[in-house]
Amino acid sequence: MKLLESFHIAIDGLKSNRGRSGLTILGIVIGISAVITTISVGEGAKSMVIKQISSLGSNNIFIEPGAWSKRMERGAMMQTMMEETEIKTLKYDDALAIEKLPNVEMVAAFVFGVDRVVYKNDSKKVTFVGITPEVQEVVGVDFSYGRGITQEDIKSVSKVVVLGHNVAGDLFGEGQDPIGKIIRIKKTNFRVVGATKETGTQTFTNLNDAIFLPLSTTQEFLLGIDYIREIIVKVKSEDLVEQTMAEVRLLLRQRHNIHNPEGDPARDDFKLMSQKDAAEVLSSVTGIFTVLLSSIAAISLLVGGIGIMNIMLVSVTERIREIGLRKAVGARKKEILIQFLFEAVILTLTGGVLGIVLGAFLSWIISLVFVYFLQSSWGFSLPLEAILLGVGVSVVIGLAFGIYPARKAANLSPVEALRHE
Protein backbone atom coordinates (compact mmCIF):
# COMPACT_ATOMS: atom_id res chain seq x y z
CA MET A 1 0.00 0.00 0.00
CA LYS A 2 1.35 3.40 -0.93
CA LEU A 3 1.73 6.26 1.55
CA LEU A 4 -0.84 8.30 -0.36
CA GLU A 5 -3.42 5.56 0.05
CA SER A 6 -2.65 5.35 3.78
CA PHE A 7 -3.11 9.10 3.99
CA HIS A 8 -6.54 8.93 2.31
CA ILE A 9 -7.64 6.10 4.60
CA ALA A 10 -6.53 8.14 7.62
CA ILE A 11 -8.55 11.14 6.39
CA ASP A 12 -11.63 8.92 5.94
CA GLY A 13 -11.18 7.55 9.46
CA LEU A 14 -11.07 11.06 10.94
CA LYS A 15 -14.08 12.20 8.90
CA SER A 16 -16.16 9.35 10.25
CA ASN A 17 -15.77 10.83 13.76
CA ARG A 18 -15.85 14.57 13.07
CA GLY A 19 -16.99 15.62 16.56
CA ARG A 20 -14.32 13.64 18.35
CA SER A 21 -11.65 14.79 15.90
CA GLY A 22 -12.73 18.41 16.37
CA LEU A 23 -12.48 18.22 20.17
CA THR A 24 -9.06 16.60 19.91
CA ILE A 25 -7.84 19.34 17.57
CA LEU A 26 -9.20 21.98 19.98
CA GLY A 27 -6.83 20.81 22.72
CA ILE A 28 -3.83 21.26 20.41
CA VAL A 29 -5.13 24.64 19.18
CA ILE A 30 -5.31 25.96 22.75
CA GLY A 31 -1.82 24.73 23.60
CA ILE A 32 -0.10 26.00 20.44
CA SER A 33 -1.89 29.37 20.52
CA ALA A 34 -0.86 29.84 24.17
CA VAL A 35 2.80 29.19 23.32
CA ILE A 36 2.71 31.41 20.20
CA THR A 37 1.04 34.23 22.13
CA THR A 38 3.55 34.00 24.97
CA ILE A 39 6.55 34.07 22.64
CA SER A 40 5.09 36.95 20.62
CA VAL A 41 4.29 39.03 23.72
CA GLY A 42 7.77 38.32 25.08
CA GLU A 43 9.35 39.52 21.84
CA GLY A 44 7.16 42.63 21.94
CA ALA A 45 8.29 43.38 25.49
CA LYS A 46 11.94 42.91 24.52
CA SER A 47 11.50 45.21 21.53
CA MET A 48 9.87 47.88 23.71
CA VAL A 49 12.70 47.70 26.26
CA ILE A 50 15.37 48.12 23.60
CA LYS A 51 13.50 51.01 21.92
CA GLN A 52 13.01 52.85 25.22
CA ILE A 53 16.64 52.52 26.21
CA SER A 54 17.81 53.43 22.72
CA SER A 55 15.60 56.52 22.75
CA LEU A 56 17.66 57.87 25.65
CA GLY A 57 20.75 57.83 23.44
CA SER A 58 23.53 55.38 22.66
CA ASN A 59 26.08 57.52 24.49
CA ASN A 60 24.50 57.25 27.96
CA ILE A 61 25.83 55.58 31.09
CA PHE A 62 23.43 54.48 33.84
CA ILE A 63 24.65 54.47 37.45
CA GLU A 64 22.69 52.80 40.25
CA PRO A 65 23.49 52.04 43.89
CA GLY A 66 24.54 48.54 44.95
CA ALA A 67 27.24 46.24 43.61
CA TRP A 68 26.88 44.35 40.36
CA SER A 69 25.47 40.90 41.10
CA LYS A 70 25.56 37.68 39.12
CA ARG A 71 21.91 37.28 40.10
CA MET A 72 21.06 40.08 37.65
CA GLU A 73 22.55 38.04 34.82
CA ARG A 74 20.45 35.07 35.93
CA GLY A 75 17.26 37.11 35.75
CA ALA A 76 16.85 38.26 39.38
CA MET A 77 16.99 41.90 38.31
CA MET A 78 13.60 42.93 39.71
CA GLN A 79 14.35 41.35 43.09
CA THR A 80 17.77 43.00 43.16
CA MET A 81 16.25 46.41 42.36
CA MET A 82 13.72 46.03 45.18
CA GLU A 83 16.46 45.13 47.63
CA GLU A 84 18.50 48.16 46.58
CA THR A 85 15.80 50.82 47.00
CA GLU A 86 17.20 51.71 50.44
CA ILE A 87 20.90 51.67 49.53
CA LYS A 88 22.30 55.14 50.26
CA THR A 89 25.65 55.11 48.50
CA LEU A 90 24.88 57.53 45.64
CA LYS A 91 24.70 61.24 46.48
CA TYR A 92 24.00 64.33 44.44
CA ASP A 93 27.59 65.44 45.03
CA ASP A 94 28.69 62.31 43.13
CA ALA A 95 26.70 63.52 40.13
CA LEU A 96 28.27 66.98 40.35
CA ALA A 97 31.77 65.44 40.51
CA ILE A 98 31.09 63.20 37.49
CA GLU A 99 29.89 66.22 35.53
CA LYS A 100 33.40 67.69 35.75
CA LEU A 101 35.01 64.77 33.87
CA PRO A 102 36.36 65.90 30.47
CA ASN A 103 34.29 63.54 28.29
CA VAL A 104 30.98 64.17 30.07
CA GLU A 105 28.42 66.38 28.35
CA MET A 106 25.63 66.24 30.92
CA VAL A 107 24.65 64.46 34.16
CA ALA A 108 21.05 63.84 35.25
CA ALA A 109 20.09 62.59 38.71
CA PHE A 110 16.74 61.63 40.18
CA VAL A 111 14.73 59.91 42.90
CA PHE A 112 11.12 58.76 42.79
CA GLY A 113 8.18 57.58 44.82
CA VAL A 114 4.42 57.05 44.67
CA ASP A 115 1.70 59.00 46.51
CA ARG A 116 -1.56 60.87 46.02
CA VAL A 117 -1.67 64.42 44.72
CA VAL A 118 -4.64 66.49 45.97
CA TYR A 119 -6.33 69.58 44.50
CA LYS A 120 -9.41 70.76 46.39
CA ASN A 121 -11.71 67.70 46.44
CA ASP A 122 -9.92 65.83 43.64
CA SER A 123 -7.00 63.46 44.08
CA LYS A 124 -4.94 61.15 41.90
CA LYS A 125 -2.30 58.54 42.64
CA VAL A 126 0.88 59.45 40.79
CA THR A 127 4.56 58.67 40.49
CA PHE A 128 6.51 61.70 41.70
CA VAL A 129 10.03 62.16 40.40
CA GLY A 130 12.61 64.41 41.98
CA ILE A 131 14.88 65.55 39.17
CA THR A 132 17.69 67.79 38.11
CA PRO A 133 17.02 69.99 35.05
CA GLU A 134 19.07 67.67 32.84
CA VAL A 135 16.54 64.83 33.26
CA GLN A 136 14.01 66.81 31.24
CA GLU A 137 16.43 67.01 28.33
CA VAL A 138 17.50 63.36 28.53
CA VAL A 139 13.93 62.00 28.40
CA GLY A 140 12.77 64.66 25.94
CA VAL A 141 10.07 66.50 27.92
CA ASP A 142 8.20 69.34 26.19
CA PHE A 143 5.88 71.78 27.96
CA SER A 144 2.37 72.82 27.02
CA TYR A 145 2.22 75.34 29.88
CA GLY A 146 4.85 77.12 31.94
CA ARG A 147 8.37 75.87 32.42
CA GLY A 148 10.39 72.96 33.74
CA ILE A 149 12.48 72.45 36.86
CA THR A 150 15.53 74.74 37.03
CA GLN A 151 18.84 74.65 38.86
CA GLU A 152 17.63 77.60 40.95
CA ASP A 153 14.68 75.49 42.13
CA ILE A 154 17.11 72.86 43.38
CA LYS A 155 19.40 75.34 45.13
CA SER A 156 16.52 77.08 46.89
CA VAL A 157 14.61 73.83 47.62
CA SER A 158 11.55 75.40 45.99
CA LYS A 159 8.13 73.86 46.52
CA VAL A 160 7.25 73.85 42.84
CA VAL A 161 5.94 71.07 40.61
CA VAL A 162 5.58 70.24 36.92
CA LEU A 163 2.56 68.10 36.07
CA GLY A 164 2.39 65.31 33.51
CA HIS A 165 -0.19 65.75 30.77
CA ASN A 166 -2.79 63.36 32.24
CA VAL A 167 -2.34 64.62 35.80
CA ALA A 168 -2.97 68.22 34.72
CA GLY A 169 -6.06 67.18 32.78
CA ASP A 170 -7.48 65.06 35.62
CA LEU A 171 -7.00 67.72 38.28
CA PHE A 172 -7.83 70.92 36.38
CA GLY A 173 -9.67 69.81 33.26
CA GLU A 174 -8.44 69.08 29.76
CA GLY A 175 -6.87 72.12 28.11
CA GLN A 176 -6.99 74.26 31.27
CA ASP A 177 -3.96 76.32 32.29
CA PRO A 178 -2.78 75.00 35.69
CA ILE A 179 0.03 77.53 36.24
CA GLY A 180 -0.02 79.06 39.71
CA LYS A 181 -2.47 76.52 41.17
CA ILE A 182 -1.61 74.93 44.52
CA ILE A 183 -1.65 71.15 44.96
CA ARG A 184 -0.87 69.07 48.03
CA ILE A 185 1.32 66.00 48.43
CA LYS A 186 1.89 64.45 51.87
CA LYS A 187 0.42 67.50 53.61
CA THR A 188 2.86 69.82 51.81
CA ASN A 189 1.66 72.48 49.35
CA PHE A 190 3.35 72.87 45.97
CA ARG A 191 2.85 75.54 43.32
CA VAL A 192 2.37 74.38 39.73
CA VAL A 193 4.92 76.00 37.42
CA GLY A 194 4.53 73.80 34.34
CA ALA A 195 2.65 71.03 32.56
CA THR A 196 4.10 68.68 29.96
CA LYS A 197 2.81 67.88 26.51
CA GLU A 198 1.48 64.39 25.93
CA THR A 199 4.38 61.95 25.82
CA GLY A 200 4.82 58.21 26.12
CA THR A 201 6.46 55.73 28.44
CA GLN A 202 10.13 56.00 29.36
CA THR A 203 11.98 53.36 31.36
CA PHE A 204 8.65 51.76 32.34
CA THR A 205 7.20 55.03 33.69
CA ASN A 206 4.27 56.70 31.95
CA LEU A 207 5.41 60.32 31.99
CA ASN A 208 1.85 61.52 31.38
CA ASP A 209 0.83 60.16 34.80
CA ALA A 210 3.91 61.46 36.64
CA ILE A 211 4.79 64.75 38.30
CA PHE A 212 8.23 66.34 38.50
CA LEU A 213 9.74 68.27 41.39
CA PRO A 214 13.20 69.62 42.23
CA LEU A 215 15.50 66.85 43.43
CA SER A 216 16.33 68.60 46.72
CA THR A 217 12.66 69.35 47.44
CA THR A 218 11.65 65.73 46.89
CA GLN A 219 14.45 64.47 49.12
CA GLU A 220 13.60 66.83 51.98
CA PHE A 221 9.80 67.10 51.97
CA LEU A 222 8.52 63.89 50.37
CA LEU A 223 11.08 61.14 50.97
CA GLY A 224 13.20 62.36 53.88
CA ILE A 225 16.46 61.10 52.33
CA ASP A 226 19.81 62.57 51.31
CA TYR A 227 20.73 60.06 48.60
CA ILE A 228 19.64 59.55 44.98
CA ARG A 229 18.29 56.55 43.10
CA GLU A 230 19.98 56.84 39.72
CA ILE A 231 22.41 58.93 37.69
CA ILE A 232 22.39 59.14 33.91
CA VAL A 233 25.65 60.34 32.36
CA LYS A 234 25.55 61.62 28.80
CA VAL A 235 28.95 61.23 27.15
CA LYS A 236 30.09 63.58 24.39
CA SER A 237 30.55 60.74 21.92
CA GLU A 238 29.53 57.08 21.72
CA ASP A 239 33.19 56.23 21.05
CA LEU A 240 34.11 57.62 24.47
CA VAL A 241 31.60 55.58 26.49
CA GLU A 242 33.95 52.77 27.57
CA GLN A 243 36.73 55.19 28.50
CA THR A 244 34.32 57.39 30.46
CA MET A 245 32.90 54.36 32.31
CA ALA A 246 36.42 53.52 33.49
CA GLU A 247 36.96 57.12 34.63
CA VAL A 248 33.62 57.18 36.48
CA ARG A 249 34.47 53.92 38.27
CA LEU A 250 37.79 55.29 39.47
CA LEU A 251 36.18 58.55 40.58
CA LEU A 252 33.37 56.88 42.54
CA ARG A 253 35.76 54.40 44.18
CA GLN A 254 37.87 57.34 45.29
CA ARG A 255 34.87 59.30 46.59
CA HIS A 256 33.41 56.26 48.38
CA ASN A 257 36.75 55.13 49.82
CA ILE A 258 36.63 51.75 48.05
CA HIS A 259 39.95 49.91 47.77
CA ASN A 260 39.51 47.73 44.70
CA PRO A 261 42.81 47.33 42.83
CA GLU A 262 41.50 44.23 41.01
CA GLY A 263 38.62 46.23 39.57
CA ASP A 264 36.03 43.66 40.68
CA PRO A 265 32.53 45.18 40.14
CA ALA A 266 31.15 43.00 42.94
CA ARG A 267 33.28 44.94 45.46
CA ASP A 268 31.92 48.34 44.46
CA ASP A 269 28.87 49.94 46.09
CA PHE A 270 27.58 51.09 42.70
CA LYS A 271 27.10 49.62 39.26
CA LEU A 272 27.56 51.12 35.82
CA MET A 273 25.78 50.07 32.65
CA SER A 274 26.04 51.40 29.14
CA GLN A 275 22.96 51.48 26.94
CA LYS A 276 24.06 48.15 25.45
CA ASP A 277 24.55 46.58 28.90
CA ALA A 278 21.16 47.80 30.13
CA ALA A 279 19.41 46.49 27.01
CA GLU A 280 21.07 43.08 27.37
CA VAL A 281 20.16 42.75 31.05
CA LEU A 282 16.55 43.82 30.55
CA SER A 283 16.20 41.64 27.45
CA SER A 284 17.50 38.72 29.47
CA VAL A 285 14.83 39.37 32.12
CA THR A 286 12.01 39.49 29.55
CA GLY A 287 13.47 36.37 27.93
CA ILE A 288 13.34 34.46 31.22
CA PHE A 289 9.72 35.52 31.77
CA THR A 290 8.91 34.36 28.23
CA VAL A 291 10.50 30.95 28.87
CA LEU A 292 8.66 30.63 32.19
CA LEU A 293 5.27 31.50 30.70
CA SER A 294 5.94 29.28 27.67
CA SER A 295 6.69 26.38 30.02
CA ILE A 296 3.35 26.91 31.73
CA ALA A 297 1.59 27.10 28.37
CA ALA A 298 3.34 23.89 27.28
CA ILE A 299 1.40 22.02 29.97
CA SER A 300 -1.73 22.46 27.86
CA LEU A 301 0.18 20.88 24.96
CA LEU A 302 0.96 17.88 27.16
CA VAL A 303 -2.71 17.61 28.08
CA GLY A 304 -3.62 17.88 24.40
CA GLY A 305 -1.13 15.13 23.56
CA ILE A 306 -2.62 12.81 26.17
CA GLY A 307 -6.03 13.59 24.70
CA ILE A 308 -4.74 12.55 21.27
CA MET A 309 -3.52 9.23 22.64
CA ASN A 310 -6.80 8.56 24.41
CA ILE A 311 -8.85 9.36 21.33
CA MET A 312 -6.63 7.15 19.16
CA LEU A 313 -6.94 4.26 21.65
CA VAL A 314 -10.72 4.60 21.57
CA SER A 315 -10.58 4.70 17.78
CA VAL A 316 -8.50 1.49 17.69
CA THR A 317 -10.96 -0.25 20.00
CA GLU A 318 -13.96 0.80 17.90
CA ARG A 319 -12.30 -0.25 14.64
CA ILE A 320 -10.89 -3.62 15.63
CA ARG A 321 -13.05 -5.51 13.12
CA GLU A 322 -12.06 -3.04 10.37
CA ILE A 323 -8.38 -3.57 11.18
CA GLY A 324 -8.83 -7.34 11.22
CA LEU A 325 -10.60 -7.26 7.87
CA ARG A 326 -7.85 -5.17 6.30
CA LYS A 327 -5.15 -7.48 7.62
CA ALA A 328 -7.12 -10.50 6.39
CA VAL A 329 -7.13 -9.14 2.84
CA GLY A 330 -3.40 -8.49 2.86
CA ALA A 331 -2.67 -5.24 4.73
CA ARG A 332 0.69 -5.47 6.44
CA LYS A 333 1.55 -4.46 10.00
CA LYS A 334 3.62 -1.53 8.71
CA GLU A 335 0.69 -0.17 6.69
CA ILE A 336 -1.67 -0.27 9.67
CA LEU A 337 0.96 1.48 11.79
CA ILE A 338 1.44 4.22 9.19
CA GLN A 339 -2.31 4.76 8.81
CA PHE A 340 -2.86 5.41 12.52
CA LEU A 341 0.27 7.55 12.78
CA PHE A 342 -1.08 9.62 9.88
CA GLU A 343 -4.32 10.12 11.77
CA ALA A 344 -2.49 11.36 14.89
CA VAL A 345 -0.19 13.68 12.92
CA ILE A 346 -3.06 15.10 10.83
CA LEU A 347 -4.98 15.91 14.01
CA THR A 348 -2.03 17.66 15.68
CA LEU A 349 -0.78 19.40 12.54
CA THR A 350 -4.27 20.80 11.84
CA GLY A 351 -4.47 21.94 15.45
CA GLY A 352 -0.98 23.44 15.18
CA VAL A 353 -1.80 25.52 12.10
CA LEU A 354 -5.06 26.76 13.64
CA GLY A 355 -3.20 27.44 16.90
CA ILE A 356 -0.61 29.56 15.09
CA VAL A 357 -3.37 31.61 13.44
CA LEU A 358 -5.23 32.05 16.74
CA GLY A 359 -1.98 32.85 18.60
CA ALA A 360 -1.03 35.48 16.01
CA PHE A 361 -4.49 37.08 16.29
CA LEU A 362 -4.37 37.14 20.11
CA SER A 363 -0.84 38.58 20.03
CA TRP A 364 -1.99 41.36 17.72
CA ILE A 365 -4.92 42.19 20.01
CA ILE A 366 -2.65 42.20 23.08
CA SER A 367 -0.17 44.51 21.32
CA LEU A 368 -3.02 46.98 20.62
CA VAL A 369 -4.11 46.83 24.26
CA PHE A 370 -0.57 47.49 25.53
CA VAL A 371 -0.10 50.39 23.13
CA TYR A 372 -3.38 51.92 24.29
CA PHE A 373 -2.87 51.53 28.04
CA LEU A 374 0.92 51.92 28.25
CA GLN A 375 1.11 54.54 25.50
CA SER A 376 4.37 52.89 24.55
CA SER A 377 6.21 51.75 21.45
CA TRP A 378 5.04 48.17 21.97
CA GLY A 379 4.96 46.49 18.57
CA PHE A 380 3.35 43.32 17.27
CA SER A 381 5.97 40.66 16.72
CA LEU A 382 5.55 37.10 15.44
CA PRO A 383 9.02 35.54 15.09
CA LEU A 384 9.53 32.93 12.38
CA GLU A 385 10.99 30.56 14.97
CA ALA A 386 7.68 30.69 16.88
CA ILE A 387 5.80 29.54 13.76
CA LEU A 388 8.35 26.79 13.07
CA LEU A 389 8.17 25.77 16.73
CA GLY A 390 4.37 25.52 16.55
CA VAL A 391 4.46 23.31 13.46
CA GLY A 392 7.34 21.20 14.75
CA VAL A 393 5.81 20.65 18.17
CA SER A 394 2.52 19.64 16.56
CA VAL A 395 4.18 16.95 14.46
CA VAL A 396 6.27 15.68 17.38
CA ILE A 397 3.21 15.46 19.64
CA GLY A 398 1.32 13.57 16.95
CA LEU A 399 4.14 11.07 16.55
CA ALA A 400 4.95 10.75 20.25
CA PHE A 401 1.39 10.21 21.43
CA GLY A 402 0.25 8.34 18.33
CA ILE A 403 2.89 5.62 18.34
CA TYR A 404 1.39 3.53 21.15
CA PRO A 405 -2.17 3.40 19.72
CA ALA A 406 -0.75 2.82 16.22
CA ARG A 407 1.41 -0.06 17.41
CA LYS A 408 -1.51 -1.54 19.30
CA ALA A 409 -3.57 -1.48 16.12
CA ALA A 410 -0.76 -2.91 14.00
CA ASN A 411 -0.12 -5.78 16.43
CA LEU A 412 -3.73 -7.01 16.45
CA SER A 413 -4.17 -10.59 15.30
CA PRO A 414 -6.47 -10.76 12.23
CA VAL A 415 -8.30 -13.79 13.61
CA GLU A 416 -8.91 -12.23 17.05
CA ALA A 417 -9.86 -8.92 15.47
CA LEU A 418 -12.50 -10.53 13.21
CA ARG A 419 -14.00 -12.33 16.22
CA HIS A 420 -14.34 -9.05 18.14
CA GLU A 421 -17.93 -7.97 18.83
Q: Are residues 95 and 242 in the same domain?
A: yes
Q: What is the 3-state secondary structure (H, E, C) of the chain?
A: CCHHHHHHHHHHHHHCCHHHHHHHHHHHHHHHHHHHHHHHHHHHHHHHHHHHHHHCCCCEEEEEECCCCHHHHCCCHHHHHHHCCCCCCCCHHHHHHHHCCCCEEEEEEEEEEEEEEEECCEEEEEEEEEECHHHHHHCCCCEEEECCCCHHHHHCCCCEEEECHHHHHHHHCCCCCCCCCEEEECCEEEEEEEEECCCCEECCEEHHHEEEEEHHHHHHHHHCCCCCCEEEEEECCHHHHHHHHHHHHHHHHHHCCCCCCCCCHHHCCEEEEEHHHHHHHHHHHHHHHHHHHHHHHHHHHHHHHHHHHHHHHHHHHHCHHHHHHHHHCCCCHHHHHHHHHHHHHHHHHHHHHHHHHHHHHHHHHHHHHHHHHHCCCCCCCCCHHHHHHHHHHHHHHHHHHHHHHHHHHHCCCHHHHHHCC
Q: Are residues 250 and 293 in the same domain?
A: no
pLDDT in tens, 346-370: 888 888 888 888 888 988 888 888 7
Average pLDDT over residues 296-317: 70
Q: Are residues 156 and 9 in the same domain?
A: no
- Per-residue pLDDT, 85: 55
Last residue of a domain, one of 205, 239, 255: 255
pLDDT in tens, 222-231: 999 999 999 9
Q: Are residues 179 and 222 in the same domain?
A: yes
Evaluate whether residue 207 is within a structural domain. Answer: yes
What is the spatial distance between Cα 44 and Cα 363, in angstroms, rounded to a whole number?
9
- Per-residue pLDDT, 7: 60
Lowest-confidence segment of 12-16, 109-113, 114-118, 334-338 by average pLDDT: 12-16
Q: Are residues 48 and 121 in the same domain?
A: no
Q: Are residues 240 and 314 in the same domain?
A: no
Q: Are residues 98 and 228 in the same domain?
A: yes
Name the most confidently modeled range: 293-302, 355-364, 369-378: 355-364
Domains contained in the chain, number: 2
Flag whether the pTM goes above 0.75: no
Last residue of a domain, one of 221, 255, 289: 255
More confident position, 354 or 396:
354
Last residue of a domain, one of 237, 255, 273: 255
Average pLDDT over residues 99-105: 93
Q: Are residues 139 and 215 in the same domain?
A: yes
pLDDT tops 90 at residue 387: no
Evaluate whether residue 47 is within a structural domain. Answer: yes
Evaluate whether residue 62 is within a structural domain. Answer: no
Q: Are residues 325 and 245 in the same domain?
A: no
Per the structure, the complete domain to which residue 155 belongs is given by: 90-255
pLDDT tops 80 at residue 296: no
pLDDT in tens, 62-75: 898 987 765 555 44
Evaluate whether residue 175 is within a structural domain. Answer: yes
Q: Are residues 94 and 28 in the same domain?
A: no
Greatest CA separation found in the chain? 100
pLDDT tops 70 at residue 205: no
- Per-residue pLDDT, 204: 54
